[in-house]
């Protein structure tokens, strides 16, 4: 089931939240948890009932493994088995065909691909469970685990909590990836939980803002991007550049919109999920970008891969290698293809370079400033401020362009296709914008009215379409660069009538956008 | 900044905020849905409102509603080969109140789907004009050209939410016709966009050659009966049941006249005999029924050998739709027996095998 569907908005969630609060107010926390688990299974099974079995097996197996870890805190074997089990599950469903095609390429074999259907969200719930196993192991090692001390008889995470932790529908299929520490304390406070008007109001606002990011903005960019990527050979320089920027916009509004919806839903139920996107395109450099983009994944890799590899404690070279390993894995996690690995490595290399430069520059600045007297230090600081402002503008722009450039390979079906688009930006024709691309924006229903009332169609129809496209793109760019993000807006919004009406209207506009009239080209049969 | 007092105000304020937000959404949703149901641009609930400038341009979404709620006594079905029929001609030539419900690229299942709606709501329909594209009748029996908006084809009221709360419907089919009325003339609905100048060899041939790849070497000839089994399945599952269960309805089936380029494709794929045999198989099945007439236009030599009559390799000028309508009225080109069918097939074979394709194609290279 999708958040952006009629069934979710009009049936699933209203039923879920009503039953949930009825149970918590009745002081039946376990039944309330079971209620949420039941709804989560419905949510997940709605995509495909066969997915459910895979998720249930994964949950039960991992829970059993945590019991083993707790009983044998002095050996790492159960944790290793758990990690291997989870990665194998992920490997089988996500990477088997990728491995086979690579084998076929290298060895010249013709092993048929398995075409296994990838269960939705498997990358998320697998990583979340690996994180959980590692956390339990660490707790046991540090002897903070009550159960270990009590030799397996004391209190520990209960199965119902664990099942809810993994299956909790708001963050099940696309994150944010949550940790034991973030969620379990919240599960302990269900008894007597009453609906909190402020949390529900802010959550509802965040959900609607996220929904609008997805269905009103991301999907509009998506239509143009699809046209662009399906006809790369015909794109000119400007076309190719715009397609790159539009995909950058689409991905952000889509993914962050989904996470906003997830946080909004959880918030309405009284749970807090971590922020996953913090205006990432406002980043001043690539290091900053990764502190703002998909933060929970970055946190996962930092905690469970980068630190265990030694982090930055083993010298510059080893730090760089560790960074590259993390981004290699991050690329692979995002998709089973060399284009994803390439995308990951583009970020890894940039991250390592920028991080190294920043460290040296910071050290140099401190050294320079500490060697000066008060007056000179002030002068130097002013000089730096001016320079910093200029360099920040350059740095922001360069970061955005580099990130956009890397996204080309993320969206392309192969590295070759990605390069074809990049190459077009420099060697393509320099004529105006491909009409089909501009037309993709003119097909946004609302914009027909703008075009119509602008009076431009009577003068110049293509110009009107280009104008609509430019306006839409510019507005989106302003939103990502200058406006507060959805989390900030929902966090600060005051409960005013005008605000409620506006958000209510945006909400219904999104609902009206959930279904489209199917249109196809009827020219040939 | 918040202080404690503000926090308290906000707590109670948020209750009001939620109520207003939800109420705004619900009221707006009800209003939108009511407007869509009232105008009903896809004719899902009722007949058209008098005086409203309905825009009809979406076969998938609007055909089932038109089939269910409009008044007619005959219907034109088929692929894009039928979109240029003018239903006024059917009134002038045969006195029929006809509705046109084509599906571009229609497969037999598409025809079956719309016939189900037609016969459920208009069991007394007197004539069905059905254009048959033989090459589509060897498809899987459940294949449809485009995914259908199921909510417009079933009786489930709940999934109608896709229709009544739909921005496309509201903006393009309800509000836009009010602001910029341009009512569709139903007699000519779905007509192709090609204007007269497109029906020209100089337009057709370069476009055709841009995608034409001569097979070298020519593949082995397809067995004559290669498509037979699947055609029979399609006819039995998707077409014949309607013919059998409505003996009082006259089914006028016709084979459209594709241009010689269509037969060049058959030649290039070495399937000319297999294609000709498709006509034979379908005709043999249909001639079993007294309520079926068959018209064979595929071998209209003067039409099909002149590319100035076409806008692409199969789509002919609307004047031939008019010509065919006249034939339906006066019986020209009707076949009454398998002998008649064989004569047309033999004629078609002669045209297809004797035509100087190389001479034609070199005009476009």
CATH topology classification for B59-362? Rossmann fold (3.40.50)
Q: Which residue in A197, A514, A518 is closest to B147 by CB distance? A: A518
Would you say residue B81 has pLDDT above 50?
Answer: yes
A-B interface: how many C-beta pairs under 8 angstroms?
A: 142
pLDDT at B141: 92
CB contact under 8 A, A448 and B172: yes
User: Which residues 410-469 on chain A approach chain B with CB closer than 8 angstroms?
Assistant: 445-446, 448-449, 452
Integer Cα distance of A249 and A473 in angstroms: 9
Q: Which stretches of chain B are assigned E, i.e. beta strand?
A: 74-77, 98-100, 127-131, 250-255, 292-296, 334-335
Give the distance from residue A451's alpha carbon to the nearest chain B alpha carbon, in angstroms.
13
Summarize pLDDT for A251-292 with one digit per residue, the tens.
999 999 999 999 999 999 999 999 999 999 999 999 999 999
pLDDT at A29: 92
Angle between helices A122-141 and A49-71 (to 10 degrees): 10
Please tell me whether residue A176 adopts helix, strand or coil conformation. coil
Secondary structure percentages of chain B, helix, strand, coil, to 5: 55, 5, 35
Integer Cα distance of B259 and B251 in angstroms: 25
Q: Parse chain B into domains and list their residue ranges.
A: 59-362
Interface test with A, best of B16, B22, B25, B34 (most A CBs within 10 A): B25
Q: Could you tell me the pTM of the whole model?
A: 0.86
Give the distance from residue B259's alpha carbon to the nearest chain A alpha carbon, in angstroms.
14
Confidence of residue A510 (pLDDT cuts 50, 70, 90): very high
- Averaged pLDDT, B157-167: 94
Q: Which residue in A509, A518, A524 is closest to B146 by CB distance? A: A518
Q: How many CB atoms lie within 10 A of CB A121?
A: 19
Q: Which residue in B18, B83, B190 is closest to A204 by CB distance? A: B18
Burial pattern B110-134, b for ≥16 Cβ within 10 A else e, equals bbbbbbebbbeebeebbbbbbbbbb
pLDDT at B18: 96
Would you say residue A250 has pLDDT above 60?
Answer: yes
Do residues B241 and B120 make contact, with C-beta atoms less than 8 angstroms apart?
no
Give the distance from residue A459's alpha carbon to the nearest chain B alpha carbon, in angstroms.
17
Residue numbers in B near A201 (CB within 8 A): 14, 17-18, 21
Strand order in the sheet with B292-296: B98-100, B74-77, B127-131, B250-255, B292-296, B334-335
Give the distance from residue B182's alpha carbon to the nearest chain A alpha carbon, in angstroms.
14
Summarize pLDDT for B323-357 with one digit per residue, the tens.
999 999 999 989 999 999 999 999 999 999 999 99
Q: Which residue in A6, A198, A508 is closest to B10 by CB distance? A: A198
Confidence of residue A525 (pLDDT cuts 50, 70, 90): very low
Interface test with A, best of B5, B7, B21, B35 (most A CBs within 10 A): B21
Residue numbers in A near B29 (CB within 8 A): 508, 511
Please tell me whether residue B31 adopts helix, strand or coil conformation. helix
Catalytic positions of A: 334
Do residues B325 and B85 make contact, with C-beta atoms less than 8 angstroms apart?
yes
Integer Cα distance of A341 and A330 in angstroms: 8
Residue numbers in B near A499 (CB within 8 A): 17
- Averaged pLDDT, B2-12: 55
């Amino acid at each position: 089931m999708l958040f952006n569907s009629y069934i979710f908005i009009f049936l699933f969630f209203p039923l879920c939240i009503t039953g949930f609060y009825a149970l918590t107010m009745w002081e039946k926390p376990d039944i309330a948890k079971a209620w949420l688990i039941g709804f989560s299974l419905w949510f997940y099974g709605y995509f495909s009932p066969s997915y459910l079995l895979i998720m249930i097996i994964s949950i039960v197996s991992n829970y059993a493994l945590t019991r083993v870890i707790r009983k044998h805190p002095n050996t790492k074997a159960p944790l290793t088995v758990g990690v291997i089990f989870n990665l194998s599950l992920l490997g089988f469903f996500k990477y088997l065909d990728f491995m086979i095609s690579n084998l076929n390429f290298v060895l010249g074999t013709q092993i048929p691909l398995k075409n296994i259907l990838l269960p939705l969200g498997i990358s998320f719930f697998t990583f979340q469970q690996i994180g959980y196993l590692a956390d339990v192991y660490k707790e046991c090692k540090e002897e903070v685990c009550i159960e270990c001390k009590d030799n397996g008889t004391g209190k520990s995470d209960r199965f119902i909590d664990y099942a809810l932790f993994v299956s909790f529908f708001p963050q099940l299929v696309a994150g944010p990836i949550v940790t034991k520490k973030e969620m379990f304390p919240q599960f302990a406070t269900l008894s007597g939980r009453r609906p909190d008007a402020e949390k529900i109001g802010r959550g509802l606002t965040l959900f609607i803002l996220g929904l609008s990011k997805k269905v009103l903005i991301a999907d509009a960019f998506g239509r143009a991007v699809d046209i662009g990527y399906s006809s790369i050979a015909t794109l000119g320089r400007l076309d190719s550049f715009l397609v790159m920027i539009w995909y950058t916009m689409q991905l952000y509004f889509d993914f962050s919109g989904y996470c906003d919806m997830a946080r909004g839903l959880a918030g309405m139920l009284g749970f807090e999920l971590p922020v996953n996107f913090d205006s990432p395109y406002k980043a001043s450099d690539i290091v900053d970008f990764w502190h703002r983009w998909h933060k929970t994944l970055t946190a996962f890799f930092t905690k469970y891969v980068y630190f265990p590899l030694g982090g930055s404690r083993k010298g510059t070279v080893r730090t760089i290698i560790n960074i590259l390993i993390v981004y290699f894995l991050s690329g692979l996690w995002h998709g089973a293809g060399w284009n994803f690995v390439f995308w990951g490595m583009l970020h890894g290399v940039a991250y390592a370079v920028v991080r190294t430069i920043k460290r040296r520059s910071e050290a140099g600045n401190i050294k320079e400033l500490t060697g000066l007297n008060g007056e000179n230090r002030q002068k130097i600081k002013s000089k730096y401020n001016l320079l910093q402002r200029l360099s920040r503008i350059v740095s922001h722009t360069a970061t955005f362009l580099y990130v956009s450039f890397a996204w080309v390979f993320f969206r392309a079906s192969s590295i070759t296709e990605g390069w074809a688009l990049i190459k077009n930006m420099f060697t393509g024709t320099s004529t105006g914008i491909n009409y089909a691309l501009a037309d993709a924006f003119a097909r946004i229903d609302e914009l027909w009215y703008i075009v119509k009332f602008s009076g431009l169609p009577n003068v110049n129809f293509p110009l009107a379409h280009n104008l609509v496209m430019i306006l839409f793109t510019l507005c989106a760019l302003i939103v990502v660069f200058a406006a507060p993000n959805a989390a900030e807006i929902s966090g600060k919004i005051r409960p005013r009538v005008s605000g409620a009406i506006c958000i209510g209207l945006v909400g219904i506009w999104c609902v009206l956008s959930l279904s489209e009239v199917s249109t196809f080209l009827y020219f040939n049969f | 900044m918040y202080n404690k007092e503000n926090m308290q105000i906000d707590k109670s304020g948020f209750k009001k905020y939620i109520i207003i937000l939800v109420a705004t959404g619900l009221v707006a949703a009800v209003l939108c849905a009511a407007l869509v149901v009232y105008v009903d641009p896809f004719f899902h609930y009722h007949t058209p409102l008098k005086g409203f400038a309905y825009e009809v341009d979406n076969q998938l979404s609007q055909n089932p509603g038109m089939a269910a709620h409009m008044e007619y006594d005959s219907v034109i079905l088929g692929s894009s080969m039928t979109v240029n029929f003018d239903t006024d001609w059917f009134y002038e030539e045969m006195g029929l109140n006809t509705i046109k419900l084509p599906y571009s690229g229609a497969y037999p299942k598409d025809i079956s789907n719309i016939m189900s709606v037609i016969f459920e709501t208009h069991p007394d329909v007197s004539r069905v004009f059905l254009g048959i594209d033989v090459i589509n009748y060897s498809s899987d029996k459940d294949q449809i050209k485009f995914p259908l908006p199921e909510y417009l084809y079933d009786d489930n009221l709940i999934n109608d939410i896709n229709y009544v709360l739909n921005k496309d419907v509201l903006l393009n089919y309800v509000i836009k016709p009010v602001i910029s009325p341009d009512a569709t003339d139903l007699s000519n609905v779905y007509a192709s966009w090609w204007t007269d100048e497109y029906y020209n060899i100089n337009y057709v041939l370069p476009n055709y050659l841009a995608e034409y790849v001569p097979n070298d070497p020519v593949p082995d000839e397809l067995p004559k009966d290669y498509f037979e089994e699947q055609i029979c399945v399609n006819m039995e599952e998707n077409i014949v049941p309607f013919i059998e269960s409505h003996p009082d309805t006259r089914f006028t089936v016709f084979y459209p006249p594709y241009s010689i380029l269509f037969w060049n494709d058959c030649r290039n794929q070495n399937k000319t005999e297999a294609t000709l045999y498709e006509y034979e198989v379908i005709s043999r099945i249909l001639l079993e029924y007294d309520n079926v007439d068959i018209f064979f236009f595929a071998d209209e030599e003067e039409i099909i050998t002149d590319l100035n009559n076409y806008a692409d390799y199969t789509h002919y000028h609307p004047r031939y739709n008019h010509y065919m309508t006249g034939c339906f009225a006066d019986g020209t080109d009707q076949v009454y027996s398998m002998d008649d069918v064989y004569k047309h097939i033999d004629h078609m074979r002669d045209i297809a095998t004797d035509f100087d394709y190389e001479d034609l194609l070199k005009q476009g290279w």
